[in-house]
Structures are given as structure tokens and as C-alpha cells.
Homo-oligomer: A and B are copies of this chain.
Amino acid sequence: MVIGAGFIGIEMSDELKKTGKNVTLIELQANVLPLAFDPDVASEAEIILKERGIKVLTGHGVQEIVGEECVEAIKIVRGDKLETLKADAVILSMGYEPSVDLARDLENIAFNRDGFIKVDEYMRTDHADVFAVGDCAEKRDFFTRKRSKAMLASIACAEARVAGMNLYKLSTLKTIGGTIAIFSTALNGTGFGAAGLTETVARKEGFDIIVGKFEGVDRHPGMLNNPHKQIVKLIAGRENGIILGGEVMGGSSAGELINIVGLIIQNRMNVNMLMTAQIGTHPMLTASPAAYPLIKAAEVIAKEFWNN
């Protein structure tokens, strides 16, 4: 029984299933990976989980974990409907909090409302000579400028590099201008990645956006080279075509493909720049140059962009 279908929850479910366990994954939101992905891309991950034999119960809340000495069952609820499921063990993967005990012992350290240590773009805390980086340090979203709760090793490493480069003298260049959470995960050979804003978040935050999506394969010609389905979804501002976010699904190259999207965002590239961008392709390594999903998704956006 795994509660919470974020990255930890789905990866844990997948690994447990590999060992032969019966696994049920319970998620309160309407789909798995509800924070990092839009429902249309997340549903692809849900299909894989189900194909692997994992029971996925989205839209279900957990009311109670039942048992005295050890777990016996959990009570889940959907609307008015209460159900009791037998369980031998429960894994809670429902969220995380920054670990800031070390900082609490220091004077003059400020924390933000989410409990993260407040830092500036050089990763300096309010305490002179103390820097904070990683999961404990405050992050601001690259676009919305809101506080972000993303906790990723890759973000921690980027922050650590910035802190290191500003330890002895400040640099006006080497700063974190805002966090672009770049996620990736893999399920049974299928890679998923997300960077920047999802369509859901972008709309919620008030951006007027255009969405482009393209589905292809990650080899060419597909019938020869054992291809994997590849999906790229891009989110662009309607005003200027600047890419605000992207989601990808594909084979093992999906991890680097989402890093391409991450760089596109960091360079504030717009859809025109992307349409004229030069890429390299090879039958055994990438999609076809004429159907490279990243560029094709940009074309879908451009079509709507130019029609306005």
C-alpha cells in the first residue's frame, strides 16, 4: 500500500512490484504525478503502472490506517464511499518538509512561511557568513517568482555551485535567477520529464498561454530501429511565444530531452527561435529531423501564435 503518487510513490510502487509484491497506489488527486505533470502526460505513466500490475486508485483519500502492533488495513474514501482494504504495510509518500534543525541553532537565521531557510540569489542566509543550499534553502519559481517547494538533488547541486562561486567575493553573474524544477523519472524503460510550468499551473497563475503537443518516435525510421513512443508538450506565453514549460515522455533519452527544454526555458527562448533552432539527429539515437517532436510541438504553438 503506497499512499501518494508523486515521484517517490510511483517509483517505490514500481520497485516493490518488481519484487513480486501486491501493490496498491493511492492518490488523492485525479491523476498520478499531479504536481509535476498535466493529466494528459501523467495518464501515460498511469497506463504503465497498471500494465505492470499495480492497482492505481486516484481520487481516493485515506481516512485511517488500521492496526495495533502492525498495519492491518487502510480505510480509503472517495466522495461518500468508504472502503476498507487489507494491507500488510503502508508507505507514506505524501510530501516532505525541509530539514532545518541545524539552522535553528544559529542566531539571525530567517525562515520563510513554508519553513525553508531564507536565502538571496547568492544563496546567502540572513546570518553573515552562512550560506544555505539544497532542500533546506528557499527557492523561488523562475516565472511566477512564488516560493517553490521543489526538492531535487539537481537543484541542490546548482545552488551549491552558485554558493561556491560567491563564497569569497560576490559575482553579479553567478546567481540563481529562479528555480526551474526539472524532473525526470523512469518506469519500466519509459522516461518521463517535466521542466518549468505545466499547463495547469500556468493557467492557474494567470498566464495567457498556447499549448503545443506532438507525438512521434525516438528513432527513425521507426519500424527499423526499435523505437519508443515520444511525446513532447510545450507551454508558451501567448503574448511573446516564450517557452514557459515542457513535458516529455520517451525512451532512455527522455532525461536529456527534458534538459534541452530546461535550457530553452533558462535562455528565455521563444517559439520562433525554437522553430529555427538547429538540432542533430541520428536513426539510432533520436527522432527524425522532419518529425523531431520538440520542434513539431513548437510548430503547433506557432500556428496558433501567428493566427492571432
Interface residues of chain A, those whose CB is within 8 Å of chain B, are 152-158, 161-162, 165, 171, 173-176, 179-180, 182-186, 191, 193, 195, 251-260, 262-264, 266-267, 269, 272-273, 275-282, 284-286, 288-290, 292, 295, 299
B280-A154 in contact (CB<8A): yes
- What CA separation (Å) do A285 and B157 show in the bound complex? 17
Cβ 8 A contact of A255, one of B180, B253, B266: B253
| CB-based nearest B residue for A270 | B173
Q: Which residues of B contact A175 (CB under 8 A)?
A: 276
In the complex, 14 of the A-B residue pairs with CB atoms within 8 angstroms, ordered by the A residue number, are A154-B289, A157-B295, A158-B279, A158-B289, A184-B281, A184-B282, A184-B285, A191-B285, A193-B280, A252-B284, A255-B282, A255-B284, A259-B280, A267-B269
B161-A289 in contact (CB<8A): no
- What CA separation (Å) do A183 and B283 show in the bound complex? 12
| CB-based nearest B residue for A179 | B278
Copies of this chain present in the complex amount to: 2
Q: Which residues of B contact A180 (CB under 8 A)?
A: 278
Q: Which residues of B contact A289 (CB under 8 A)?
A: 152-154, 156-158
- What CA separation (Å) do A173 and B270 show in the bound complex? 11
- A276 with B186, Cβ < 8 A, contacts A256-B257, A289-B154 known: no
Q: Which residues of B contact A156 (CB under 8 A)?
A: 289
| CB-based nearest B residue for A275 | B161
- What CA separation (Å) do A139 and B269 show in the bound complex? 24
- A256 with B179, Cβ < 8 A, contacts A154-B278, A278-B154 known: no
Say how far A232's CB is from chain B's closest CB, in angstroms: 11
A278-B290 in contact (CB<8A): no
Most buried by B among A153, A259, A286: A259
